[in-house]
Each structure stands twice: as structure tokens, then as C-alpha cells.
Amino acid sequence: MFKHYSDNEQFNLQINRFINDEYEDEQSVQDDVAEIVGQLKDTETWYQAWLEKAQEREEKGDWEIASTYYQAAEFYLGLDDPRSKTIYDKYRETFYKGYHDFKYEQFKVPYEQSYLPVTKLINPGAKKDLLLFAGYDSYMEEMVKMSKYLKGIDYNIYVLDGPGQGTALRNGLKLIHNWEKPISTIIDYFEMKNVSVIGMSLGGYLVMRAAAFDKRITKIAAFDIFYSFMDALRLRLPYQTMTKIEQMLKKNEREKLNALFQKMMSVNLDLNWKINKGIENTGVRDPFTLLKEFQKYNVKSILPFINQDVLLLVGEDDQYVPSTRLPEIEEGLINAGKVKTVIFTKETGGEQHCQAGHRELGFNAIKEFLA
């Protein structure tokens, strides 16, 4: 269940994301969260509160919970913050100490001057291959953890950090819109013939892009739909402000746009995080260049190239992706095979971004689609 923990919408979503799918009914965790929420004022108090609880849990050998808390603690730290690597390493260390859902193998797939980290989760007797990745702010381990919902299916699951994600980002691989490059590299490396792919969050765009240009992909699931990166700004900014931003972009008014964003970001935690995280992920220098980059992430032009079977998941109250984009996506898939849509509402549960708080509902729809 998606719960109200904080009046800060950004904090509230992340707490639900990190906690409620796993620990909704675990009272000791809910008690920890209640203590943490009482301390939250900004991203620094967020870091300190989660770190303190992570260290307490690690001392007790509660590896899985400690890992979750370390991930939360690291969430708002920039890569240039020396604390980030320390906490990220702690997150991964405690994660694998406490992980027992699947037998797994790990790989470093050569890519450009670095590598793509891949974890293969083994479903005994499985005959098919499934790729799983996320988007803007997740780590491979978070997807590995969620894969418990896919236990027992006829697929071995390959979870990866692509460019701009997790270890790949820390090794210098920046986020790119042409996601067919890393996915084709993975498919080549493992000599896959027919593969299904799940893309989560921004991955809802990335999976469409990969499928449009690599036909070894036979089924895709957008978990959830992601039409345009600019929508994530449009949903949370006043209409007049967004109109002004789009006009500045069109006229290439870099200095004016950067000044506007500097002012808005100083009083808006959510916007500040979105822009700084984007600059970090892509390696661009300022909000103007970032928004120019964001404009590349739009599914409209690639939809006709998708001829695979497609699953579209939609959260009615998604704070990043307007559900009103669904008809445009459905109508654009003119050459797709079977197209199935599942809309989650407050009544059904799963109405939030990527079904946060009710993640199992999204995975149930995916399992039915893959069967």
C-alpha cells in the first residue's frame, strides 16, 4: 500500500519505494521510518537519519534492512560527494551478504572503454532469456531485489546497470538515449536469439528505443510507460513557466534559462534533484544543455518501428509520467504485435510511479504477459 509518510512529495515517494514493497508489515522497520521521518528537513538530514539506522542494522547483522537504509542514505548524494562512494559500497556489500532469493552469476560485459555489470538470476530449468533494467536513479541491486516477483518463471533474468546507472555511471559511462547500443552489446555477449525485455521507470522509454532497433527482442514491457522526459518537468511546473522554458529552448536562450532554473531549484527540492541528477547522469554542464538532451527522450518517432509484442503499464497518479499519454503511445504502435495495456488506479492499487507501494501488481501483469 502506498502510504503517506511525509508532506514532501519527493521524500514520500522514495520512502514508499525503498520501504513499503518489502517492509510494510514489519513493525520494527516502520518504527525506524517513523523516527527517520521526524528528523527530515532537507537532503542532508535525510542522509544522516538513514545512515544512522543503516549502521545500527548492520551492527545487528540485519543485512537486507541495512542495505535498504544505505541505499536510501546515498540517494541524494552527488557523485562528487566523497561520502557517496563509501555509502554505495556499503549498500552493495550488505546487499549481497543478505541476498538469497536466486542463485546468481555476475559478469562484466565489455562496452566502450569500460564494462556493463550484469547479474544473471537463475530460474532452474528456464529455457528463455529476460533482460531487466531501470532508469534515472536506480541501481542494478534494486532490480535484483525486485526480481523475487519473477521467481519460478521460464526465464533466466539478466539484470544490468546500463550507461548512466549504478556502477556503469561510476565507471564513467554516461546516460544515452540510444539504448539499443548497450542492449545489443548484452545480447551479442550472451549470444541470445530471442529475448524479452523489461524497462522500469525511464526504462519505459529505453526499452521502446531498444526494441525499435534490435529485432532479436521479441517482447517488451514498459514498467511504466514513458513518453517524454519533458513530461516529468511539465507535470510539476506551472503551465506558464513550462511555456516560457520551451520558448527559451527554442530560441537557444541559455543564460536566461539557466538563471530561471537556478532560482527555481533554490526553493524546489524535487526540481533541484531532477536537474542535478540529470547533469550527473549525462555529463552535461548546465540545465539548458540538459533540457536539450532531455528532448531526445521521446517515443513518438520510434513507435512505428516497434513490431514486437508490447505490455504498457500505467499508474493513474504517476508523478513523473502523465497517464494521458497512453492513447498517443497506443495509437503510435501501428506495427506492433499484440499490445496489452494495464491501468492501475487508487481502487486497484498501484496508481503511483511504477506501482510503488504495490509493486507486486506490476510484476503480476508482467508474468501474465510473458507466459
* DSSP states of 125-175: T--EEEEEE--SS--HHHHHHHGGGGTTSSEEEEEE--TTSHHHHHTT---
Domain count, the chain: 3
In the chain (371 residues long), the average pLDDT of successive 10-residue segments reads 87 89 91 96 96 98 98 94 97 97 98 98 98 94 96 98 97 97 99 97 98 98 97 92 97 98 94 94 97 97 99 95 96 98 96 92 98 94
In this structure, are 330 and 253 located in the same domain? Answer: no
Query: Does 84 fall in a domain?
Result: yes
State the amino acid at position 30 in one-letter form: Q
Q: What is the pLDDT of residue 342?
A: 98
In this structure, are 213 and 314 located in the same domain? Answer: yes
Domain that holds residue 30: 9-97
Closest CA to 195 of 149, 147, 155, 143: 155
In this structure, are 158 and 49 located in the same domain? Answer: no
Q: DSSP alpha helices (H): ranges in 24-61?
A: 27-37, 43-59
Query: Does 2 fall in a domain?
Result: no
pTM beyond 0.85, yes or no: yes
Q: What is the pLDDT of residue 228?
A: 96
In this structure, are 213 and 342 located in the same domain? Answer: yes
As a whole number of Å, the CA-based R_g of the chain is 20
In this structure, are 38 and 156 located in the same domain? Answer: no
**For residues 269 and 75, what is the distance between their CA atoms, to the nearest angstrom?**
13
Q: What is the pLDDT of residue 21?
A: 79
Within 10 Å of residue 123's Cβ, how many Cβ atoms?
Answer: 19
In this structure, are 205 and 135 located in the same domain? Answer: yes
CATH number at residue 304: 3.40.50.1820
In this structure, are 237 and 155 located in the same domain? Answer: no
Q: What is the pLDDT of residue 214?
A: 98
Query: Does 28 fall in a domain?
Result: yes
Q: Provide the pairing of β-strand 128-133 with 155-160.
A: parallel
**For residues 123 and 111, what is the distance between their CA atoms, to the nearest angstrom?**
27
Query: Does 21 fall in a domain?
Result: yes
Q: What is the pLDDT of residue 328?
A: 98
Residues 6+ away with beta carbon under 8 Å from 99: 64, 144, 145
